[in-house]
């Protein structure tokens, strides 16, 4: 693991270097890889768990090797327009975000980036291999990677943090994320590695404990939303109340993230009959 500053706290991250007898792969080259580029061994290809700014911030350091992402996220790495479409930000927020991608995260489009699918295997030689496990929800193409012979499960942004799952972009899906959490929870590994915060955990017991706490944030957000809807509110008021970020956090894209996240919870609660629409766009708990 190539640990980022402050334990890989955003915008930093913890990248993974996997060396086989024939090839070396870097997974999710982060901002922290940039100052240590000269000290790295030869890298033969880049694997990205998904197309988000902090996970591709170091891709530009490796212009002469193939870049690989899940095929569902390929539009994001092939052009700036495609990348912005993943987030769905509009107006001033979208313009500011486009500038940050270029200046802070060194976004570099790659038209010839290659797609992989669930179950694909990268053979690095000497018995070292990386297998793709599609875990959508955070983005459409988010993936975990199973590394042999180390028995390491790299989880990307299933990061086991106290912040909880993030499903606030245009390409995010709450219920896909929940299914992905169920999937990875069944995988028995020796090591579990995350891009943010946790870094590396040893053993399934420690992993399962962290995973349960991480997943419980979803239920907590939903229960807090139900409590807030003891009186009628519309989606703008729900977003302004903040269920994902703390009210005082200076997050420039908080409004669209809150709106997208809580709209998914709201839709589920409506289907379940736990919330009703008392008039157009105005919702209350049943």
Backbone angles phi, psi at 278, to 5 degrees: -80, -30
What's 4's DSSP letter? P
Could you tell me how many helices (H) and strands (E) the chain has, helices first?
A: 7, 13
Give the global pTM.
Answer: 0.97
Nearest-angstrom CA–CA distance, 283 and 286? 9
Question: What is the arrangement of strands in the sheet containing 24-27, beginning at the earlier edge strand?
Answer: 16-19, 24-27, 45-47, 67-70, 114-116
270, 285 contact by CB (below 8 A): no
Give the integer Cα–Cα distance in Å for 152 and 261: 30
Burial readout 133-163 (b: 16 or more C-beta within 10 A, e: otherwise): bbbbbbbbbbbbbbbeeeebbbbbbbbbbee
pLDDT of residue 220: 98
Name the burial class of residue 120, with classes exposed (0-12), middle (13-18) and buried (19+) by CB atoms within 10 angstroms of its CB.
middle
Contact residues for 62 (Cβ-Cβ < 8 A; gap 6+): 26, 29, 43, 46
Peptide bond into 223 cis (omega under 30): no
3-state SS class at 88: coil
Cα separation, 175 vs 235, whole angstroms: 19
265 phi/psi in degrees, rounded to 5: -65, -45
Structure tokens, 235: 């989606």
Locate 86 and state its tokens.
């993943």
Cβ neighbours around 55 below 10 Å, total: 25
pLDDT at 93: 95
pLDDT value of position 38: 95
pLDDT value of position 114: 98
- Quick one: pLDDT at residue 174? 98
Alpha-carbon torsion 139, 103, 257, 160, what sign? positive
Residue 18: the pLDDT is 98
What residues in the chain have per-residue pLDDT under 70?
Answer: none
Rounded CA separation 107/101 (Å): 5
Distance CA 134, CA 118 (A): 5
pLDDT (0 to 100) of residue 256: 97
pLDDT digits (tens, 9 = 90+) for 20-55: 999 999 999 999 999 999 999 999 999 999 999 999
Q: What is the pLDDT of residue 1?
A: 96
Instruction: Delineate the domains of the chain, giving CATH numbers in brackets.
Output: 5-213 (3.60.15.10), 229-285 (no CATH)
């Amino acid at each position: 693991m190539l640990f980022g500053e402050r334990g890989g706290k955003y915008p930093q991250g913890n990248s993974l270097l996997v060396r086989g007898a024939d090839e070396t792969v870097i997974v999710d080259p982060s901002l922290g890889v940039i100052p240590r580029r000269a000290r790295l061994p030869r890298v033969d290809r880049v694997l990205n768990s998904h197309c988000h700014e902090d996970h591709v911030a170091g891709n530009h350091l490796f212009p002469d090797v193939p870049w690989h992402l899940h095929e569902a996220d390929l539009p994001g790495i092939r052009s700036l327009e495609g990348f912005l479409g993943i987030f769905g930000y509009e107006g001033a927020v979208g313009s500011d975000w486009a500038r940050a991608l270029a200046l802070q995260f060194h976004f570099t489009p790659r038209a010839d980036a290659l797609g992989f699918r669930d179950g694909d295997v990268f053979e690095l030689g000497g018995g070292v291999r990386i297998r793709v496990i599609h875990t959508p929800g955070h983005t459409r193409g988010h993936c975990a990677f199973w590394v042999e012979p180390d028995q390491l499960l790299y989880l990307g942004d299933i990061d086991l943090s106290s912040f909880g799952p993030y499903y606030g972009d245009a390409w995010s899906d709450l219920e896909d994320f929940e299914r992905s959490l169920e999937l990875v929870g069944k995988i028995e590994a020796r090591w579990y590695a995350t891009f943010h915060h946790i870094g590396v955990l040893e053993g399934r017991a420690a992993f399962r404990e962290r995973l349960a706490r991480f997943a419980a944030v979803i239920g907590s957000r939903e229960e807090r939303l139900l409590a807030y809807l003891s009186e009628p509110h519309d989606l703008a008021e729900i977003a302004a109340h903040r269920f994902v970020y703390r009210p005082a956090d200076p997050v420039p894209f908080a409004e669209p993230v809150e709106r997208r996240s809580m709209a998914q919870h709201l839709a589920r609660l409506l289907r379940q009959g736990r919330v009703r629409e008392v008039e157009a766009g105005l919702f209350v708990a049943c």
